[in-house]
């Protein structure tokens, strides 16, 4: 029974850590020589954003890939009072949006190299299976 539990634990992805600080994420990316995936989201009001999170970012295939290959950054713009961000976090997200999402698209996902150069972007919900999304991310 213990062996089965250990085998299952190796298959089940752990929850990924999404940074809310791009500057720190970029520093980590430079040290580890990894690409950065930024997701601009309205987590509590944007239906395509919620779908992207549930169907792709929370999928085992994405989590298994991203855990070793990506530094993840979330730039969230919630609207509900209960999800309100700190003033500092709002400023960080707005600064990041000015640089990478000036048109305010949601969801908007970017793959950057460790220096902040855009390698690929997805405007809206990609409408592809998680496996294909990972393939697109890994091909850059």
Using alpha carbons, select from 48, 78, 63, 49 the residue that is nearest to residue 18: 63
For 33, phi and psi rounded to 5 degrees? Answer: 55, 55
Q: Is the pLDDT of residue 133 over 60?
A: yes
| Residue 6: predicted pLDDT | 37
Using alpha carbons, select from 97, 138, 101, 139 the residue that is nearest to residue 123: 101
Q: Is the pLDDT of residue 5 over 90?
A: no
pTM of the entire structure?
Answer: 0.89
Q: Diameter of the chain by CA atoms?
A: 53
| Residue 15: predicted pLDDT | 78
Tens digits of residue pLDDT in 24-69: 999 999 999 999 999 999 999 999 999 999 999 999 999 999 999 9
| Residue 14: predicted pLDDT | 58
**Domains defined along the chain, listed by start:** 15-138 (3.40.30.10)
At residue 140 the predicted structure's pLDDT band, cuts being 50, 70 and 90, is confident
DSSP assignment of the chain? -HHHHHHHHHHSPPPPPEES-HHHHHHHHHHHT-EEEEEEE-TTT-HHHHHHIIIIITSHHHHHHHHHHEEEEEEE---SGGGPPPHHHHHHHHHHHHHH-TT--SSEEEEE-TTS-EEEEEES---S-HHHHHHHHHT-
pLDDT above 70 coverage of the chain, percent: 90
What average pLDDT score do residues 68-97 get? 97
DSSP assignment of 105-122? -SSEEEEE-TTS-EEEEE
């Amino acid at each position: 029974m213990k062996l089965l539990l250990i085998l299952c634990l190796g298959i089940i992805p752990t929850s990924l850590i999404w940074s809310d600080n791009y500057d720190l994420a970029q520093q980590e990316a430079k040290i580890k020589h990894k690409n950065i995936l930024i997701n601009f989201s309205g987590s509590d009001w944007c239906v395509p954003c919620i779908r992207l999170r549930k169907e792709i970012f929370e999928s085992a295939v994405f989590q298994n890939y991203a855990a070793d290959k990506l530094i993840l950054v979330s730039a969230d713009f919630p609207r509900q009072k209960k999800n309100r961000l700190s003033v500092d976090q709002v400023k960080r997200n707005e600064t990041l949006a000015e640089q990478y999402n000036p048109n305010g698209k949601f969801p908007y996902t970017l793959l950057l190299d460790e220096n902040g150069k855009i390698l690929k972007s997805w405007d809206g919900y990609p409408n592809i299976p998680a496996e294909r999304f990972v393939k697109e991310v890994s091909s850059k």
